[in-house]
C-alpha cells in the first residue's frame, strides 16, 4: 500500500506538464451554461469529459441528454466489497462579462506568476481535472482500492435545473456510500478546508414598468413615477437599519447558531483584516450582532447582482426610462426554502410597490441550503489527506456559496458529501480574471490521491 501511494505520488510529480495540458484544453471551451449562444460549447465540454473518462478506462461512460445541458456519467466498479464514492463535478462556467476587465481572454488560459487565469480555472474545471488526474495516477501505477462513479453536470451555474430529475431516474445507477464534491475551496493557501454547510440561493429578476415608452425628462418630468427611482425605492427597502432583510417572514425558518458553533466559527483564521484584503472594500458591513464569518456562512443575505435602466452610454440623454430591471438574489441558510423566499418577495412587492407602476418578478433559480455530518468515513479520509499534504489539520467551515446538489443528494440519494476543493478566496470566481493557484492545484491532486487511498477499508 505504501508502495502504491509512493508510486502514484511519483506519477503526479512526473506528469505535471501533461496534467497542465489537459487542464488548458478544457479551459479553452467556453461552456457558459446560461448563454443560449454557447449550447454547442457546453455539449463539446461534455464530450471532452466523456472522452477523458474513457481514456481512464471507466466503464458505462455515457453523455446523458437532459432538457438543457447533458450529464456525463462513468464508473469504475473494480473493487467489489470496498466503498463506492461518487465524484461530483460540473463542466459549465459563469459568463465572462465584463469582458473588458480581463487581462487575458477568459477562454485563452494564461499563466502569470504562479496562477493560471481563465474562466472556470477555479470554479470548477480545475477541480474536476484534479480529480481525473488523481484517479489516473493511481490507476496507471497500481489498483484503485475503492469503486468510483462520476457525475459531471453542465448546469451548475444556472441552478442545476435538470439534475433532480436525473438523480431520481438514475438512483440505482448512482448508488454509492458517499459523494466527493470538490466545488468548495480553501480559506487560504496554507489553510486546507472542509466545508460542512452551504448556503442556498433564491435568485430573481425584478422588472418595473412606468410610462408606456421613454419620455423627455423636461416635458414630462414631475408627473410620472420614474421606474428607475421606483426600483431604487423598492430595493433600498429590502434591508432595515440593522442590515436585516425585510421580506415578510424571511427569518422564520433560520436555524439559530448555537454557542458551540459560534465559538468554532470564531476560531477560523479568516478575520476582518483577511476579508478587507480579499474584497478591497473600505470597511466591512452587514447584519448587526454577527461576526464576518457568521455573516458569510451562517446568516442569510440579499444582494443586487445587476441593475439596468434607461441611458447608460457616454454623455447625457434626458430621458425618463420606460422600465428598470434588477437582478436580486438571496443566500439562504438551514432551514430556509427558496420557494418560500419567492413568495416572501412577492408579498413584499405587493405590499410596497406603488400603484403608479407595474412590476414583474421572475424566479430565475433556487437551491436549498444544507448542513452535513462531520464525522463519517469520507470526511475522515479527506481530513487525513489534507493533513498529510499541508502538514496541518484542516479547518471546518460553513461556506457562503451555494451547491444545491449537496442537499439534492442528501434528499434523493440519501448520501452525505465530502465538500472540499483547492480554489482560494481571491480566485475571482464569477468575476473577471478568474484564476487557480497552480502550486495549490498540484497539492490538491496529491491530496485527492491520499483521500482515495485512505478510503481502503
Contact pattern from residue 344 through residue 383 relative to a copy of itself, giving x for each residue in contact according to CB under 8 A and a dash for the rest? ----------xxxxx-----xx------------------
Task: Please count the other Cβ atoms lying within 10 Å of the Cβ belonging to residue 22.
Answer: 17
With beta carbons less than 8 A apart as the criterion, state whether 412 and 151 touch.
no
The DSSP line for 92-141 is -B----SGGG-SS-TTS-EEETTEEESTTTTTTHHHHHHHHHHHHHHHHH
Q: Report cis status (omega within 30 of 0) of the bond before 110.
A: no
Q: Which of 35, 75, 92, 136 is catalytic?
A: 92
Q: Which of 25, 111, 246, 275 touches a copy of itself by CB under 8 A?
A: 275
Using the rule CB under 8 A, is 283 a contact of a copy of itself? yes
Burial of residue 13, with CB atoms counted within 10 A of its CB: 0-12 exposed, 13-18 middle, 19 or more buried = exposed
Among 169, 153, 181, 176, smallest CA distance to 406 is for: 181
Stretch that binds a copy of itself, among 7-15, 29-37, 52-60, 74-82 (CB under 8 A): 29-37
- CA neighbours within 13 Å on the CB side: how many for 95? 9
d(CA 96, CA 28): 13
Three-state secondary-structure class, residue 52: helix
User: Least distance from C-beta 333 to a copy of itself, angstroms?
Assistant: 10
Using the rule CB under 8 A, is 325 a contact of a copy of itself? yes
Nearer to a copy of itself, 77 or 221 (CB): 221
Three-state secondary-structure class, residue 9: helix
Using the rule CB under 8 A, is 62 a contact of a copy of itself? no
Using the rule CB under 8 A, is 221 a contact of a copy of itself? yes
Q: Which of 84, 127, 309, 417 touches a copy of itself by CB under 8 A?
A: 309
User: Least distance from C-beta 74 to a copy of itself, angstroms?
Assistant: 29
User: Least distance from C-beta 79 to a copy of itself, angstroms?
Assistant: 35
User: Least distance from C-beta 221 to a copy of itself, angstroms?
Assistant: 4
Using the rule CB under 8 A, is 254 a contact of a copy of itself? no
Torsion of Cα atoms, 235 then 236 then 238 then 240, to 10°: 180
Give residue for cell 482560494.
424
156 annotated active-site = yes
Stretch that binds a copy of itself, among 6-14, 76-84, 171-179, 272-280 (CB under 8 A): 272-280
d(CA 62, CA 75): 10
Nearer to a copy of itself, 258 or 312 (CB): 312
Instruction: List alpha helices for 142-279, DSSP H.
Output: 163-169, 217-220, 227-236, 259-266, 272-279
Residues 383-442 that bind a copy of itself (CB under 8 A): 399-402, 425, 428-433
92 annotated active-site = yes
Using the rule CB under 8 A, is 286 a contact of a copy of itself? yes
Q: Which of 115, 136, 155, 156 is catalytic?
A: 156
Contact pattern from residue 150 through residue 189 relative to a copy of itself, giving x for each residue in contact according to CB under 8 A and a dash for the rest? --------xx------------------------------
Stretch that binds a copy of itself, among 40-48, 93-101, 163-171, 253-261 (CB under 8 A): 93-101
Catalytic residues: 92, 156
Amino acid at each position: 500500500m505504501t508502495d502504491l501511494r509512493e508510486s502514484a505520488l511519483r506519477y503526479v510529480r512526473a506528469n505535471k506538464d501533461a496534467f497542465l495540458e489537459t487542464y488548458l484544453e478544457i479551459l479553452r471551451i467556453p461552456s457558459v451554461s446560461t448563454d443560449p449562444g454557447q449550447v454547442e460549447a457546453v455539449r463539446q465540454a461534455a464530450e471532452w469529459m466523456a472522452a477523458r473518462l474513457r481514456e481512464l478506462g471507466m466503464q458505462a461512460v455515457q453523455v446523458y441528454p437532459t432538457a438543457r445541458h447533458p450529464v456525463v456519467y462513468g464508473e469504475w466498479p473494480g473493487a467489489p466489497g470496498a466503498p463506492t464514492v461518487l465524484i461530483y463535478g460540473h463542466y459549465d462556467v459563469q459568463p465572462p462579462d465584463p469582458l473588458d476587465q480581463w487581462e487575458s481572454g477568459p477562454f485563452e488560459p494564461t499563466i502569470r506568476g504562479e496562477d493560471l487565469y481563465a474562466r472556470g480555472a477555479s470554479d470548477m474545471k480545475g477541480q474536476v481535472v484534479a480529480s481525473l488526474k488523481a484517479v489516473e495516477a493511481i490507476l496507471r501505477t497500481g489498483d484503485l482500492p475503492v469503486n468510483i462513479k462520476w457525475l459531471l453536470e453542465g448546469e451548475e451555474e444556472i441552478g442545476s435545473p435538470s439534475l433532480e430529475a436525473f438523480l431520481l431516474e438514475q438512483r440505482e445507477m448512482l448508488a454509492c456510500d458517499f459523494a466527493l464534491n470538490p466545488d468548495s475551496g480553501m480559506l487560504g493557501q496554507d489553510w486546507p478546508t472542509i466545508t460542512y454547510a452551504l448556503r442556498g440561493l433564491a435568485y430573481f429578476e425584478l422588472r418595473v414598468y412606468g410610462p408606456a415608452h421613454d419620455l423627455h425628462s423636461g416635458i414630462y418630468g414631475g408627473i410620472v413615477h420614474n421606474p428607475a427611482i421606483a426600483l431604487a425605492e423598492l430595493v433600498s427597502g429590502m434591508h432595515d437599519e440593522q442590515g436585516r432583510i425585510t421580506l415578510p417572514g424571511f427569518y422564520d425558518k433560520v436555524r439559530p447558531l448555537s454557542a458551540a458553533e459560534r465559538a468554532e466559527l470564531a476560531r477560523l483564521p479568516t478575520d476582518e483584516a483577511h476579508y478587507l484584503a480579499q474584497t478591497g472594500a473600505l470597511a466591512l458591513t452587514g447584519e448587526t450582532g454577527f461576526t464576518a464569518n457568521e455573516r458569510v456562512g451562517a446568516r442569510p443575505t440579499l444582494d443586487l447582482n445587476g441593475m439596468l435602466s434607461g441611458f447608460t452610454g457616454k454623455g447625457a440623454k434626458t430621458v425618463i426610462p420606460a422600465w428598470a430591471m434588477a437582478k436580486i438574489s438571496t443566500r439562504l441558510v438551514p432551514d430556509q426554502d427558496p420557494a418560500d423566499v419567492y413568495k416572501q418577495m412577492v408579498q413584499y412587492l405587493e405590499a410596497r410597490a406603488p400603484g403608479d407602476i407595474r412590476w414583474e418578478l421572475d424566479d430565475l433559480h433556487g437551491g436549498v441550503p444544507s448542513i452535513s455530518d462531520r464525522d463519517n468515513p469520507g470526511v475522515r479520509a479527506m481530513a487525513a489527506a489534507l493533513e498529510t499534504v499541508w502538514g496541518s489539520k484542516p479547518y471546518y467551515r460553513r461556506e457562503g456559496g451555494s451547491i444545491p446538489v449537496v442537499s439534492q443528494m442528501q434528499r434523493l440519494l440519501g448520501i452525505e458529501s465530502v465538500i472540499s476543493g483547492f480554489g482560494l478566496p481571491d480566485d475571482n470566481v464569477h468575476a473577471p480574471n478568474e484564476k487557480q493557484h497552480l502550486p495549490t492545484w498540484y497539492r490538491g491532486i496529491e491530496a485527492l490521491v491520499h483521500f482515495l487511498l485512505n478510503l481502503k477499508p
